Chain A
Amino acid sequence: MTLSGIPDTNALVKQIHAQYPLLAVNKYVIAVDKKIISGNTILNENSTVALMPPFSGG
């Protein structure tokens, strides 16, 4: 999905948790422009953000 006017990853997380409440109780990591981040990270209008959950299946 494409979003605009979101300053950082904290704001993004807040918005997608409101839209997809189940995500709030799930574990995932965030990658901004293909790099895993750990703290709040500033986003620009062209940033690509990916959320990735852990998988256990084999």
Chain B
Amino acid sequence: MSFDYSRYERYSRQILLPGFGVSTQQKLDKAKVLVVGAGGLGCPALQYLASAGVGTIGIIDDDVVSVSNLQRQVLFTEADIGFPKARKAAAVLERMNSGIGINVYNERLTTANALELFENYDVILDGTDNFSTRYLINDACVLLKKPLVFGAVSQFEGQLAVFNGEREGEQPVNYRDLFPDPPKDGEIANCADGGVLGVLPGIIGTMQANEVLKLITGMGEPLINRLLTYNALTNQTYEMILVPGDRSKQEIPVNEEEFRSTDYAAACAADNNGILISASQLAQLIDDKDTIIIDVREKGELPLLAIPHQQLPLSTLQTETPVFNGKTWVFLCQTGRRSLQAINYFSAMEGNRKMYSVDGGIIAWEKFNNKKEHDKAHS
């Protein structure tokens, strides 16, 4: 593929850079980058990859735009709500730069499609929002020896790293060298539960695009075998050196066949048998005198819980160990994740009690009550 010199003007500000030139622009033109997840990280990354002139960009996402995405997923507008993210993001990028190719995969990344898909790309950018897909991406990239630009955010902090990159005198490192086993569902809060400052994935996603551009062009020092953390509240950054661990080799599928038969969702599924109760089961427990209901959300979180309960923000558990009366403790939070964390914590404590977590949290509880009201009004 030869570089179309009529497009020189478009990229003139980067071609002018010392050490860049037309030859580096040609490298970008030939490059193929796959962005997994068109969300808070994917949107800003896609913007800069497209505007920099990455010749082929793949977008894989099976989700649709929802109103709570708009606070940080900057490629979408109110008119996009309910439409597929991958298609809507691609439409914006096509208007932005008609000189590049965009491949849309409006589907979920699975062990059945990941290897074939990744093989068509030079660099993979992880912009997903869950651990099972993150481990799937990591393992596929290790098997295919593909550079992976990793980014993740939580509340006010972000992480950035380049895995499987080539760095002289070092063994390639991957995410399992940091965390060999995936955390279980509910163990770590996600954006829906813990919240996220909108600009943070904007920053981390843009940094991911920067790492991709460095990998393609050979300029600068990509964050290979390093992990950078960034705190949006303090502007503190912390960079650590990663080293290969023994455990990661045992946990990664040995070949493509084993990868295809690995159940990544199951690896993250928590064993919550006998712990989860539904909103309707909670309704039955409200009047039970031996039951205490404990809201573990932080102060000020809405909606308020309109049934008798105790408040115990999860953050306070780090410093105190409260004991409640009652034989049955029912924990509640916004979505049902933090309440599982609370149980995790109390289960290490001595004493004879039953503990439950309300599946789906207060969101499920509100839905249950709204439906009850609705049914009552129409009966």
Residues of A at the B interface (CB closer than 8 Å) are 19-27, 29, 31, 34-36, 38, 50, 52-58
Contact = CB atoms under 8 A, between A and B. Distances in A.
A36 B152 contact: no
Interface of B: 37, 39-42, 126-131, 134, 151-154, 157-159, 177-179, 183, 187-188, 190-191, 194, 196, 201, 227, 229, 238-243, 245-246, 314, 317-319, 321, 341, 344-345, 348
Nearest to B242: A36
A58 B242 contact: no
A20 to B, nearest CB: 5
Task: Name, among B40, B314, B345, the residue most crowded by chain A CB atoms within 10 Å (CB to CB).
Answer: B345
B240 A55 contact: no
Given A54-B152, A55-B152, 13 more contacts: A21-B345, A23-B318, A26-B187, A34-B238, A34-B241, A50-B240, A54-B183, A55-B154, A56-B129, A56-B188, A56-B190, A57-B201, A58-B42
Contacts of B40: 57-58
Given A22-B317, A57-B191, A31 B240 contact: yes
Contact of B196 (A22, A23, A25, A57): A57
A40 B152 CA distance: 27
Nearest to B208: A58
B241 A53 contact: no
B259 to A, nearest CB: 21
A33 to B, nearest CB: 9
B241 A58 contact: no
A50 B238 contact: yes
A58 B153 contact: yes
21 contacts: A20-B319, A21-B321, A22-B317, A26-B187, A27-B187, A29-B178, A35-B241, A36-B241, A36-B243, A38-B245, A38-B246, A50-B238, A54-B131, A55-B154, A55-B159, A56-B129, A56-B154, A56-B188, A56-B190, A58-B152, A58-B201
Contacts of B131: 54, 56
Contacts of A50: 238, 240
Nearest to B182: A54
A54 B184 CA distance: 11
Contacts of B127: 58
Nearest to A35: B241
SS of B interface (majority): mixed
A35 B157 contact: no
Given A25-B348, A55-B158, A36 B153 contact: no
B130 A56 contact: yes
A19 B319 CA distance: 7
A-B complex: 9 closest residue pairs judged by Cβ atoms: A55-B152, A55-B154, A57-B191, A31-B240, A58-B129, A58-B41, A57-B153, A22-B318, A35-B241
A54 B351 CA distance: 31
Contacts of B129: 56-58
A52 B321 contact: no
B239 A34 contact: yes
B14 to A, nearest CB: 27
Contacts of A38: 243, 245-246
B317 A29 contact: no
A57 B154 contact: yes
A22 B241 contact: no
A55 B153 contact: yes
A21 B347 CA distance: 12
Contact of B178 (A24, A54, A56, A58): A54
Contacts of B227: 36, 52
Contacts of B177: 36
A34 to B, nearest CB: 5
Given A20-B318, A22-B345, A54 B179 contact: yes
Given A20-B319, A29-B178, A58 B188 contact: no
A23 B315 CA distance: 11
Contacts of A20: 318-319
B240 A52 contact: yes
Contact of B188 (A22, A23, A24, A53): A53
